[in-house]
Chains A and B, each alone.
Chain A
Amino acid sequence: MQISSIIMEMEEKIADLGKELKAIKEGVRALEKENQLLRQKLYMPSSPVTPNESHKSPKERKSGAGYRNLGFLYEEGYHICPHNFGRVRTEDCLFCLSFLKQAEGSEGKPE
């Protein structure tokens, strides 16, 4: 009797563990999907190529997209300045903003 009740308890525990494992797997899948979407958002150009951009060389378009991505990273709350790159920021950073401003300026410059 005792052995059978112990086995039943163990079966219940294994079933519970199975449920937990399933929930964790679903969570991992959701996170992977979200991660993929975020990566796409981060590395893909945010907007279709504008008529102005269509005149630019692929290299220039790539660098414009790079600056935009850095801008997104900054808005997401990360430093993009060389000294603190990738660190979480709690307030605006003088050096990140100066870098973004410089990037804006160089993008806007006539060829």
Chain B
Amino acid sequence: MKISSSKENLVYGTQIAQRCISSRAPLPILNGILLTARDHQLTFQATDLDLAIECATGVEVLEEGSVVVPARHFLEIVRRLPDQTIHLESDPQTKLLILTYGSAQFSINTLNPDEFPVFPNINGNFTQEIKQVLLKEIIRQVAFAASNDPIRPLFTGVMLEIAPHHLLFVATDTHRLAKRKIEQENPEIEQPVQTIIPARALNELYRLLKDEDLPIKISITDTHITFYTEDFIFSTRPIQGYYPDYKKVLPENYQCKILINTTELLPAIERASLLISTKEGNSIVHLTIKENYLTVQSNSVDLGSVHEEIPATREGQEIAIAFNARYLIDALKNMEAEQMAIEFTGNLGPGIIRPVSEQDYLYLLLPIRT
């Protein structure tokens, strides 16, 4: 392989590809990025066998070929190169990649490209298109509610349902649940299709997406879920299994509903959460809805106590309930809405939070028994 490229293009491709390099890779080859020079392009591919990323940049190809470079090492090197044309040439005999810039030379040991895993076949049965900025918002609103517990793999994923008239994203760790629905006509689909995307993959994808109206295509097969953009291809294995019937846990009615400003509620909960009040380090906030205000209370034997009153519009009974402060903060931070509607189904029943401006989003959380 022999190419000439700008430093910018090398940094760009390496930064994207190294996102799926795991620090605990089971095989040394998985610590590498496969560089392939062909047709005026340099393709960067990396995988940890669960996630796979591919991107390409335009370069001058003098001799086609491929080489595997150690990802972290290569990124640190190209980041520190001078802003000028860099010539890369691989030597199969010595297994070295020689970077030449000006009168200087940098040699890097490479790995055997034949050992690099074959990239997944990513032609899906269903392809959906959505705006990158919207997918980013959905990931931010939903993925945090998935579990981190590897013992229960099903709950570490986000369920994606593609139906003829909507897309639906649901995540739950069994204590809370986040759901976002997008009204969208999907003429290709006759029956709803479900798949479970690992939340970890979505969080990595989130970092690659742009805050722009650019399209991203989602392609689904039984073994891979692939996201295509102009800049990269991102593929992940779905979590196998049937997602639990989340509809059963959604309450049909409520005892009390309040409308409240997020700008007042979120800081009050954050202040209250400073008082750690359980052995596990969780902070419990007690909410009391009386007349037309909500009281936020928290106390810790060691640290002290807090009591704040926030105006709220109430409909239904008065209620007293306690929540894990972190679960409340996670939701309020990710909604980015000025006003929230919170529905309470009883002091031991789940609470539902919805942004007033966006009825397609729902966050459900269980109270804490105190």
Q: With A83-B244, A102-B248 in contact, is A94–B177 under 8 Å at CB?
A: yes
Nearest Cβ on chain A to B300's Cβ, whole angstroms = 19
* Interface 1/0 per residue, B138-169 and A, CB below 8 Å: 00000000000001101100000000000000
The chain B residue sitting closest to A89, CB to CB, is B174
Nearest Cβ on chain B to A91's Cβ, whole angstroms = 5
Docked CA distance A90–B173 (Å): 12
Q: Does A36 contact B (CB under 8 A)?
A: no
The chain A residue sitting closest to B152, CB to CB, is A84
Nearest Cβ on chain A to B254's Cβ, whole angstroms = 15
The chain B residue sitting closest to A84, CB to CB, is B152
Docked CA distance A91–B350 (Å): 13
The chain A residue sitting closest to B172, CB to CB, is A94
Say whether chain A's binding surface is mostly helix, strand, loop, or mixed.
loop
Docked CA distance A98–B350 (Å): 10
Inter-chain contact A91/B368, CB cutoff 8 Å: yes
Q: Does B73 contact A (CB under 8 A)?
A: no
Docked CA distance A87–B147 (Å): 15
The chain B residue sitting closest to A92, CB to CB, is B366
Give every chain B residue within 8 A of A94 (Cβ-Cβ). 172, 174-177, 249, 350, 364, 366
Q: Does B213 contact A (CB under 8 A)?
A: no
Give every chain B residue within 8 A of A102 (Cβ-Cβ). 248
How many residue pairs at the A-B interface have CB separations less than 8 Å?
Answer: 43
Docked CA distance A97–B364 (Å): 13
Interface extent on B, as a size class?
Answer: 20 to 34
Give every chain B residue within 8 A of A42 (Cβ-Cβ). none
The chain B residue sitting closest to A94, CB to CB, is B249
Nearest Cβ on chain A to B158's Cβ, whole angstroms = 16
A residues contacting the other copy or chain, number (CB 8 A):
14
Q: Does A95 contact B (CB under 8 A)?
A: yes
Inter-chain contact A91/B249, CB cutoff 8 Å: no
Q: Does B302 contact A (CB under 8 A)?
A: no
* Interface 1/0 per residue, B357-370 and A, CB below 8 Å: 00000001011110
Nearest Cβ on chain A to B178's Cβ, whole angstroms = 12
Nearest Cβ on chain A to B228's Cβ, whole angstroms = 32
Give every chain A residue within 8 A of B154 (Cβ-Cβ). 83
Q: Does B230 contact A (CB under 8 A)?
A: no
Q: Does B190 contact A (CB under 8 A)?
A: no
Give every chain B residue within 8 A of A98 (Cβ-Cβ). 248-249
Q: With A91-B366, A94-B249, A98-B248 in contact, is A84–B174 under 8 Å at CB?
A: yes
28 A-B contacts, Cβ less than 8 Å apart?
A81-B174, A81-B244, A82-B244, A83-B154, A83-B155, A84-B152, A87-B151, A87-B152, A91-B324, A91-B366, A92-B175, A92-B367, A92-B368, A92-B369, A93-B174, A93-B175, A94-B176, A94-B177, A94-B249, A94-B350, A95-B174, A95-B244, A95-B248, A95-B249, A97-B249, A97-B366, A98-B248, A102-B248
New A-B contacts (13) at CB < 8 Å, excluding given A91-B175, A95-B249: A83-B152, A83-B155, A91-B324, A91-B366, A92-B175, A92-B367, A92-B368, A94-B175, A94-B350, A94-B364, A97-B249, A97-B366, A102-B248
Interface residues of A (CB under 8 A from B): 81-84, 87, 90-95, 97-98, 102
Interface residues of B (CB under 8 A from A): 151-152, 154-155, 172, 174-177, 244, 248-249, 280, 324, 350, 364, 366-369
